[in-house]
Amino acid sequence: MTMPEPKSKRDEIREAAARLFRDKGYAATSMRDLAGAVDIKASSLYNHFDSKEDILRQICFDNAQRFLAGLQEVENSADSATEKLRALIGLHIQIATEDLTSITAFNDEWRHLNEPYLSEFKTIRRDYERRFQSIIEDGMNKGELRSMDSHIATYTLFSSMRWLYDWYKSGKRISADELQRDISALLMNGLSV
Q: What is the pLDDT of residue 57?
A: 96
Residue 171 C-alpha from the chain's centroid: 20
Q: Residue 13 above 90 pLDDT?
A: yes
Choose which CATH entry (1.10.10.10, 1.10.357.10, 1.20.1560.10, 3.40.1030.10) describes domain 53-189.
1.10.357.10
pLDDT tens, residue by residue, 70-123:
999 999 999 999 999 999 999 999 888 888 778 888 888 999 999 999 999 999
Domains of the chain, by residue range, sit at: 53-189
Mean pLDDT of 11-36: 93
Among residues 176, 171, 148, the alpha carbon closest in space to that of 161 is found at 176
18 burial level (CB within 10 Å; 0-12, 13-18, 19+): buried
In order of 10, 98, 133, 168, 182, the CA distances from 59 in angstroms are 12, 14, 25, 20, 28
Determine which helix (DSSP H) or strand (DSSP E) holds 122, and give its type and residue range.
helix 117-141
Q: Residue 170 above 80 pLDDT?
A: no
Q: What is the pLDDT of residue 4?
A: 62
pTM for the whole structure: 0.87
Among residues 48, 18, 17, the alpha carbon closest in space to that of 31 is found at 17
Q: What is the mean pLDDT of the chain?
A: 90
Q: Residue 146 above 70 pLDDT?
A: yes
Q: How far apart are CA 113 and CA 121, in angstroms?
A: 9
Q: Residue 2 above 70 pLDDT?
A: no
Neighbour count for residue 178 (Cβ, 10 Å): 11
The residue ranking higher by pLDDT, 78 or 4, is 78
